[in-house]
Amino acid sequence: MTESDADAAQPLRGVRVLDLTQLLSGPYATQILADLGAEVIKIEQPGGDKARGNGPFFEGKSSYFASLNRGKKSLALNLKNDSGLRVFQDLVRQSQVVVENFRPGVAERLGIGFEQTRQWNPSVIYASCSGFGQTGPKAGLPALDIIIQALAGTMSLTGEPGAPPLRAGFSVADIGAGMYLAMAILAALCRPPADAPAIHIDISMLDTQVALLENAFARFFATGEVPQATGTRHPVLAPFQSFEAADGRFVVAISTEEHWLKFIRAIGHPELGDEAMFKTPAARLRHVDQLEGILLPIFRTRSRECWITRLEAAEVPVARINTVADTADDPDLRVREMFSEVQFGTARMKVVASPFHFNGRSLRALPVVAEFNGNQAEVLQEILHLNPQEITRLDQEGAFA
């Protein structure tokens, strides 16, 4: 790798982030920053990040924690202790970003809120992520992923028509908030000169989940009709859903007239193009039940791989419905280096790697997941230039968790 390739692969090299977050949304954001080359120091309070205790465990280590905290350093500070708070203040002065996902009001009570922090670093980027944001009637309430999916309308759009609402199969509210949090931090880092005033980023899980609901709200505002669950069907395109072949299920996604014509030829029924009720996208959507009734018995006559081979050859969007195990063995993902190993204590475990690629190269997963307080000496000596005697004194004063 050339020097320019190395620089491109770590665009945030030289940026220091103090990470006060735990569990999912905040750590997901700061892991993105670590993947991009930032030095992320995870400030853990007594007991550490609760995610360290979340299973499943591999050789005694939390795979959940490892999947969100690779490449970060860990420093345990007791922020309720005056000496611990002073250490944090000194680190803030040497950092560009502070990230927290406490419930609103908690950081202020600890003496590490935005107004306090900007006094120590007038250019700090202070990023907060919470369930409902720093303002509004629900601001002080706790919120987990399913709460946000329920309130945003996500669950009402998930599942089969007429069936009870379903939670999406992964923590889309947490992950969505983490991605928006990372994007906001990256935007703030692009501010011109170093003397730019401090900025407070306020990310709400509910806000970001609503923002991710694609055109559901656009359709509601335009028509007044409340969007409903459609199973695997698309609300405005057809056929765009899953079908059952002789030996398994697969999906087809027809989004253009070109796709439609290629599709009906590939399945051996070009005459469908002459049917008035299938002539246009709008007509196919209106008659989707009739169209599905025609297609289902056709697809049951052959194997899934047969249909996928035919449709792929015709350049029609099609895919088998994978399990996680299937996807973990996907040859494209192997080429893209989307799975890697990390070292967590004595355990080596596989995790999902970063999806970023720069100059044709992937960002491999950083190899180490920090033990609780595993980087105390490194952080205090190399950043704050404390000697072992000073660290011992701080320890005796109760500064460390």
Catalytic sites, residue numbers: 234
* Sign of the alpha-carbon torsion through 112, 114, 116, 119: positive
All residues at 6 or more sequence positions from 127 whose CB lies less than 8 Å from its CB, including other chains: 29, 97, 98, 99, 100, 181, 184, 185, 188, 200, 201, 203
With beta carbons less than 8 A apart as the criterion, state whether 392 and 366 touch.
no
Q: Using a CB cutoff of 8 Å and minimum separation of 24, what contacts does 316-319 make?
A: 316/252, 316/254, 316/259, 316/262, 316/263, 316/266, 317/252, 317/253, 317/254, 317/255, 317/259, 318/250, 318/251, 318/252, 318/253, 319/250, 319/251
Helix then strand then coil, in percent of the chain rounded to 5, is 40, 15, 40
How far is Cα 111 from Cα 117, in angstroms, rounded to an integer?
A: 8
All residues at 6 or more sequence positions from 87 whose CB lies less than 8 Å from its CB, including other chains: 77, 380, 384, 394, 399
Count, residues in the chain: 401
Q: Which of 316, 321, 319, 320 is nearest to 255 (CA)?
A: 316
Q: Which of 341, 323, 339, 342 is nearest to 331 (CA)?
A: 339
Residue-wise DSSP of 122-160? TT-EEEEEESS-SSSTTTTS---HHHHHHHHTTGGGSSS
All residues at 6 or more sequence positions from 360 whose CB lies less than 8 Å from its CB, including other chains: none
> In this structure, what DSSP letter does residue 278 have?
G
* Residue in the structure block whose two tokens are 């199973």: 231
Half-sphere exposure of 273 (CA within 13 A, CB side): 14
How far is Cα 95 from Cα 384, in angstroms, rounded to an integer?
A: 11
Half-sphere exposure of 289 (CA within 13 A, CB side): 2
How far is Cα 130 from Cα 137, in angstroms, rounded to an integer?
A: 13
